[in-house]
Amino acid sequence: MNKKLRNKISKKIVLGTVGLLLTTTVLDTQAVNEPQVQLEAPELTKEEMVVYQKSCLDKIQRQSWMTDNEYAQLLTRIQNTGCAIQFKEGDTGLAGGTVFYVTDGGTHGMETSPTILSNLEWGCEHVFAATSSSIGSGLTNTAYVVRENCKSARGGETIWSAISKFQVNGFSDWYIPSRKELTEVYKYVNLKTELHSDNIYEYPSYMWSSTASKKAPAEISHAINLWNGNKTETTRDFRLSIIPVRNF
């Protein structure tokens, strides 16, 4: 995983074909830029700076005894130190996904998962309060609906059940992006080809957001097509996909 942090990556990530019941990894990247280790030591000499930089790089190396979870915790802690990695939108993130939003000079922000999950209902037709669409509200929306522990309409799995148990590369702090967060995701993550299904209730190219619509009828939520960028509001019994995101 530490190799991914050094790899140069593209500004626009392309996802390959996704199995409807399986996750899929991000494919077809092209090198253009790489995250930088932040150095907060302006008084150091050139020779001291080299030593300091090597020390930072040593700190993010994965030890042979570390589990995925332990290494994920290490990388998370590093981001709150002087050795924080500076990211730009389009970089490969700590969890191996795509950074799509940055704050604090690139030391914090949001990244996508390197995988998507398909064949999922929004469900929770009695939940109407998760209407926040702003950047930064996806985590709150997700936490709110997950607590409801509600069911699907057609007997399938809900996005809330899937996100609650989702883990990748040792990271488990994932949530479903809000409508505006998902719009930002589309700037850097696309499907390579449009995905299809023979099921009339299943549209795998569309990604659910965590934002419920404020319009009537109340049982609809926002989604976006990661192949062509089309935005829609649809009833929650349809089976779409999700691209989990996390904060760093």
Q: Which of 12-16, 50-54, 65-69, 111-115 has the lowest mean pLDDT?
A: 12-16
pLDDT, tens digit (0-9, with 9 covering 90-100), for 182-206: 999 999 998 877 888 877 788 999 9
Pick the closest to residue 123 from 161, 163, 166 (CA basis).
161
Q: What is the pLDDT of residue 43?
A: 61
Confidence of residue 140 (pLDDT cuts 50, 70, 90): very high
Q: Which residues of 129-153 are buried (b: 16+ CB within 10 A; e: fewer)?
A: ebbbbebebbbebbebbbeeeeebb
Q: What is the pLDDT of residue 50?
A: 53
Mean local confidence (pLDDT), 162-190: 97
Q: What is the pLDDT of residue 41?
A: 46
Mean local confidence (pLDDT), 76-103: 95
Q: What is the pLDDT of residue 153?
A: 84
Distance CA 77, CA 248 (A): 10
Q: What is the pLDDT of residue 29?
A: 34
Confidence of residue 131 (pLDDT cuts 50, 70, 90): confident
Residue 238 has pLDDT above 50, yes or no: yes
Distance CA 57, CA 225 (A): 38
SS3 120: strand
Q: What is the pLDDT of residue 161?
A: 96
Distance CA 183, CA 223 (A): 9
The torsion defined by the Cα of 114, 154, 133 and 107, in degrees rounded to 10, comes to -20
Q: What is the pLDDT of residue 205?
A: 95
Confidence of residue 49 (pLDDT cuts 50, 70, 90): low
Q: What is the pLDDT of residue 79?
A: 94
Q: What is the pLDDT of residue 125?
A: 85
Structure token pair of residue 47: 């020779």
Residue 209 has pLDDT above 90, yes or no: yes
Distance CA 194, CA 180 (A): 22
CB atoms < 10 A from the CB of 103, how many?
A: 13
* Inter-residue contact 222 to 231 (CB < 8 Å): yes
Confidence of residue 218 (pLDDT cuts 50, 70, 90): low
Regarding beta strands 85-86 and 202-212, do their DSSP bridges make them parallel or antiparallel, or are they unpaired? unpaired
| Higher pLDDT among residues 175 and 196, named by residue | 175
Edge-first strand order for the sheet with 108-112 is: 99-103, 108-112, 245-247
